[in-house]
């Protein structure tokens, strides 16, 4: 469970940091709806709300240990990243649901 949450968080962090790009046509609407429902039932939004501060804190501490003289800058960057994540959380959840829909069947 923790590995799955960390993998999901890493994927979402990558999406949060990446610019919005043009996309190819998505999966069938029924598959996308099923994937979104799976995300809702799984409580992904709540999991992300709980996981992101922990992940950001751990990552910032790792960077600070590598460059202690840059602590202030590192904390500012991770503070901005957290804000961007919150602003785009629903978009990111939709992107992950699309990835699931492309791989999973409705059955």
CA distance readout (Å), 92 to 34, 85, 95 = 16, 8, 5
Burial tier of 18 (Cβ tally within 10 Å: 0-12, 13-18, 19+): exposed
* Overall pTM surpassing 0.85 (yes/no): no
The per-residue pLDDT for 48 is 87
Q: Please say if the pLDDT value at position 107 is more than 90.
A: no
Mean pLDDT (the chain, rounded)? 82
Residue 47 or residue 86, greater confidence: 47
Tokens of 92: 């990111």
Average pLDDT over residues 68-80: 91
The per-residue pLDDT for 68 is 95
Q: Please say if the pLDDT value at position 38 is more than 80.
A: yes
């Amino acid at each position: 469970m923790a590995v799955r949450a960390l993998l999901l968080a890493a994927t979402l962090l990558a999406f949060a940091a990446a610019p919005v790009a043009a996309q190819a046509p998505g999966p069938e609407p029924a598959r996308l709806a099923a994937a979104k429902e799976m995300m809702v039932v799984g409580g992904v939004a709540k999991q992300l709300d709980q996981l992101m501060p922990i992940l950001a804190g751990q990552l910032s501490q790792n960077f600070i240990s590598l460059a202690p003289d840059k602590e202030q800058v590192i904390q500012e960057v991770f503070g901005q990243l957290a804000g961007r994540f919150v602003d785009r959380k629903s978009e990111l959840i939709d992107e992950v649901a699309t990835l699931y829909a492309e791989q999973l069947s409705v059955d």
